[in-house]
Amino acid sequence: MKKLPTNHNNLLLSIVIPIHNEADVIPTLIDRLALVSRKLPVTTELLFVDDGSKDNSVALLLESRHRYPHIRVLRLSRNFGKEAAATAGLNHARGDAVILMDADLQDPPELIPQMVSEWRKGTDVVLMKRRSRAGESWLKRTTASLFYRLINRISDAPIPVDTGDFRLMSRRTIDALNQLPERNRYLKGMFAWVGMPTVTLEFDRDPRAAGHTKWNYFKLLQLAIEGITSFSIKPLRLALVLGIMSAGAGGLFGLLEVLKALFFGVSTPGYASMIAIITFLSGIQLLCVGILGEYVGRIYMEAKQRPVFIVADDSDENEKAYGSAITMKGVSNDQNH
């Protein structure tokens, strides 16, 4: 393990940043982080997790290690997705506190000193709440707000509205988080589940500094389904309730038809209403099978017990022969780094 230059109080802060094709922002990001970390009362480790970038992000990061020795680059074997990349970073961070932030400077590094000072006052989590969401469309803001309202209605540990992954967490919070074994990782929900004493700070979220977002509505929908199904089994109960309701309504309708036939003679055939009822009920059935499928799929993924990520390279572990040694690591065998 590489020795980092230490300061007087010997506390280490890890700043974890997942990177996926961020070559456009990396130079600015590193400059701003370097400027900020010089002012901090703690030593900092900048832990970049390269999530299978196809551009020259990794080369840029490694190059800047000559100027800033406290940069560490963890390279995943392929693109695993942001949640897995962040998980890898949180697993490997060595700090007494860890800050998780995006690479695109939407989370301003200049707020870090304030976060550190709140932590030094004794809190475990410093949560960054967005006051505004500059550069995000009306549609994105509305769907996000609807999603939070829905998920908080059905899940046990509410997720604070308008907070992202940008936050500081103490060592014991990180250790608790690293113990959660699930493969389907919905970090925001996991943070909320872990809990711990929390201080919330407000900030104005900047638009992306350069490059473009890797999210689209399909990916966001997937994340939303992930969020709901990994933290609540209420949709399964909804399926049950829908089944009971439609069976009840169907039974009542049948009874009415029989009574009508007894007292007023045979009623006229009604193909249209038949078709409407059949399609409605088969729709409900398919919906319920789908909901069930989501959970079965999750059980399947968990049952396979695969690690969440694979580390191909750690710049600190193979300093001399960078890239020659392949170390295979995952959550299952590399819990508390």
Site residues (vs ligand UDP, CB under 6 A): 18-20, 22, 51, 79, 81-82, 85, 102-104, 106, 213-215
Between 20 and 185, whose beta carbon lies closer to ligand UDP? 20
**Site track for Mg ion across 80-119, x = CB under 5 A:** ----------------------x-x-x-------------
Is 98 or 291 the residue whose CB approaches ligand UDP more closely? Answer: 98
Query: Minimum Å distance from CB 122 to ligand UDP?
Result: 29
The count of chain residues that interact with Mg ion, using the rule CB under 5 A, is 3
What are the start-end ranges of the H helices in the chain? Answer: 26-38, 57-64, 82-92, 112-120, 138-154, 171-178, 187-194, 217-231, 234-264, 271-304
The binder of 163, among Mg ion, ligand UDP, none, by C-beta within 5 to 8 A per type, is none
Nearer Cβ to ligand UDP, position 51 or 118?
51
Tell me which residue of 288, 190, 273 sits closest to 239, measured CA to CA: 288
CB 287 within 8 A of CB 241: no
Query: Which pairs with CB-CB distance under 8 Å and at least 24 residues apart come from 315-318?
Result: 315/62, 315/65, 315/71, 315/72, 315/73, 315/74, 315/75, 316/1, 316/2, 316/72, 317/1
In whole angstroms, the minimum distance from the beta carbon of 17 to ligand UDP comes to 6
Residue 167 beta carbon to ligand UDP: minimum distance, rounded to whole angstroms: 14
Reduced to 3 DSSP states, what percent helix, strand and coil does the chain have, rounded to the nearest 5?
45, 15, 35
How deeply is 277 buried, as exposed, middle or buried, from its count of CB atoms within 10 A (0-12, 13-18, 19+)? middle
Nearest approach in angstroms of CB 208 to Mg ion is: 5
Interaction of residue 229 with Mg ion, rule CB under 5 A: no
Residue 81 beta carbon to ligand UDP: minimum distance, rounded to whole angstroms? 5
Phi, psi of 329 (to 5 degrees): -135, 150
Min CB(219)–Mg ion separation in Å: 13
Residue 79 binds: one of Mg ion, ligand UDP, none (C-beta under 5 to 8 A by kind)? ligand UDP
Report how far residue 142's alpha carbon sits from residue 135's, in angstroms, rounded to the nearest whole number.
14
Sites of contact with Mg ion (CB under 5 A):
102, 104, 106
